[in-house]
Structure 1
Amino acid sequence: MAEISDYLQEPDATVWADFTAPTATDLAIIEEELGLHHLAVEDAVHEHQRPKLDRYDSHLFLSAYAVDLDAVTHALTKVEVKAFITPRAVVTVHPEAFDMGTVVQRWDSNPDLAQHGAAFLLWGLLDVIVDGHFATVQDLDGEIESYEDLLFDEKNHGTEIQRNSFELRKNLVALRRAVLPMREVVNTLMRRDIELMDHDMMPYFQDVYDHVLRATEWTESLRDLVATILDTNLAIQGNRMNLIMKKVTSWAAIIAVPTAITGFFGQNLQFVGFGTVWGSYLSVGLIVVVGGMLYASFKRRDWL
């Protein structure tokens, strides 16, 4: 690390340094070599920074979050990635959970842009992070579509849909906190008054900005869609409850007919057919006929 300033004396040299979960002591040498502001170094060491781009006299400080959605548990993980950007050097700071190899592959797959130095390195880092945001939003959209199919399934999935929708809303809120501030971060980088950036890289940062906007708009629409799914699920449950109540009421009406008839014939009254066999047949016939009429009437009205 003490040789970085020597490399920077070469006119065509660009330096990249990578730190994994460093302490303030670990960054002390790089702070001295690149003249980093001590407040930026403190932000790099402390966790839970908001996504931002701070401007200092000699460098920029970037804080962003890489996100990933587990395909099995559907849990959303956020990894904090930070970077110091000078005109000819980039220093990345991240925990072990972040795969820096993906960023290196992005750099290696675009060797024609390496001539732009630090701006090229920063673009590769942001491009990987924003692509992760976009892929995560796409995965969440796929989950929501599967829950939409469950809404109109004949089997009742009310509790499952409510629980999964709640988890989806939590993931979308966490994702929104990582994606939404990136608009301001990338937009600030594209400003002409930032002399640290190579202006030939502006079209590439504009492409990243477009992806940020798409991911942000998609996240907002998914939040509305999850709320719609919850409302639809409650409406369907209410309709099913009304249908069940209609069926129960219809069966209660049918059962009330034989109860009324047998109760009437069970009284000590000289009714028609009292004490005769055909009187019993008459009571049974009334039960069957009236009950059948009620059943046919309810069935025609789709109450049964």
Structure 2
Amino acid sequence: MQLRSRAWRDGELIASDFDLSELDGYLADASVLTWLDVCDPHGSVIVKLAEELQLDPHAVEDAIAPRERAKVTRHATHTFFTCYSAELGENAAGLPELTTGRISAFVMMNGLITVRVARGTAIDMDVVLQRWEEGGLLGHGVGALVHGLLDVLVDGHFDAVQVMDDKLEEVEDLLFADAVQTREVQQRVFALRKALVRLRRAVLPMREVVAGVMRERLTGHWQPSRELDGEFNDLYDHVLRASEWTESLRDMVASVFETNLSLQDARLNMIMKKLASWGAIIAVPTAVTGWFGQNLPYWGFSDSWGLWQSVVLIVVGTVGLYWLFRRNDWL
């Protein structure tokens, strides 16, 4: 288990990584903005925090339970939300693979407690801290902490969507390449479809999370700051854009999959046409030599011109069929 903490007064840092026993004192001071991060919490620690801060037991259970869905809920003393980060990389085989990380938060009047369970990709809180300190919004209360956290997650969603878009363009290039790479295309399309399913589970629920946070910011337990209205509206706009882009990627992946199948059918038809054409061409000398190879007298039997007659028939027949098939684009 790892604990990190910060305390600010009027936007200035006054305490860092303080002892857990000092948390109550900072939270009780209305002029202090407090943040505590708990990574991979032990059961006893999270239970102790829940008792001291009067956290709802259902929210605590949701914060540490695996595969919990993204959501926002209001409780008697706090607002709780949980959401997911997303990062698109490559596995050992060089195929696209999406990894996700989950973070839950308890929002109080002047404090934010985040709980991270290190399954998948652990969310880097250093980036979040940097966003808080560089944003210049810490003087506007706990809403600044919530906004900075969600903003980092949404930016990560945008990056993952952008990378997936680039991966799709690479697959499109492979589809129409001169050298057919059917197996590689199939593997990449399957990996992209699998990654997209997980990406939609992380990105799409963020609309509900951000909308719920904006609603709770005005009507919930934490002190609203009108100066953050524009920041949250911009955040919600980014969430909508990421969601719409993700939905368009779903259509693009389906289109690439269907195009791949269509191209395979077209290539199969072309191969069948070529095989049928060559079979017809080969049938000409087979038929001629079969006729002249009979042990029966025929026109030109035992004469040299009979041999030349069969040669001419073979050459004219095969060349004629080859020219006819080439003209009709069968070869």
Shorter-chain TM-score bucket reads: over 0.9
Aligned to 1:289: 316
Aligned to 2:292: 265
1:71 to partner: Cα distance? 4.4
Q: Does structure 2 retain, via aligned residues, the 8 Å contact 1:180–1:216?
A: yes
Please give the residue correspondences for 1:139-158 in structure 2 after superposition, counting only pairs within 5 Å.
139-158=163-182
Going from structure 1 to structure 2, the CA distance change for 1:93 and 1:293 (only over 3 Å counts) comes to same
1:123 to partner: Cα distance? 0.6
Unaligned stretches of 5+ in structure 1? none
1:88 and 2:87 matched: no
Please give the residue correspondences for 1:58-207 in structure 2 after superposition, counting only pairs within 5 Å.
58-71=77-90, 73=94, 74-96=96-118, 97-111=122-136, 113-191=137-215, 192-194=218-220, 196=222, 197-207=224-234
1:95 to partner: Cα distance? 3.3
Deviations 1:51-91, CA, capped at 9 Å, x for gaps: 11111122111101111112454321111101110010001
Q: Does structure 2 retain, via aligned residues, the 8 Å contact 1:24–1:45?
A: no
1:195 to partner: Cα distance? 5.1
Measured in 1, the distance between the counterparts of 2:25 and 2:318 equals 100
Going from structure 1 to structure 2, the CA distance change for 1:46 and 1:23 (only over 3 Å counts) comes to farther
Which residue identity is paired with 1:51? A
Q: Does the residue aligned with 1:25 lie in a helix, a strand or coil?
A: helix
Q: Does structure 1 retain, via aligned residues, the 8 Å contact 2:64–2:117?
A: no
Q: Does structure 2 retain, via aligned residues, the 8 Å contact 1:2–1:29?
A: no
More strand by share: 2
Deviations 1:25-57, CA, capped at 9 Å, x for gaps: 112343244322222122222222111111112
Unaligned stretches of 5+ in structure 2? 1-19
Deviations 1:234-293, CA, capped at 9 Å, x for gaps: 111111111111111111111111111111112244322211112111111111111111
Which residue identity is paired with 2:230? P
TM-score (norm 2): 0.87
Measured in 2, the distance between the counterparts of 1:286 and 1:32 equals 100
1:5 to partner: Cα distance? 2.5
User: Greater CA deviation, 159-168 or 231-240?
Assistant: 159-168
How many equivalent residue pairs?
A: 303
Aligned to 1:255: 282
Deviations 1:119-150, CA, capped at 9 Å, x for gaps: 00111110111111111011111101100011
Q: Does structure 2 retain, via aligned residues, the 8 Å contact 1:51–1:63?
A: yes
Measured in 1, the distance between the counterparts of 2:158 and 2:142 equals 24
Identity, in percent, stands at 47
Deviations 1:178-218, CA, capped at 9 Å, x for gaps: 11111011111222433524332121111111111111111
Aligned to 1:214: 241
Q: Does structure 1 retain, via aligned residues, the 8 Å contact 2:171–2:185?
A: yes
Q: Does the residue aligned with 1:3 lie in a helix, a strand or coil?
A: helix
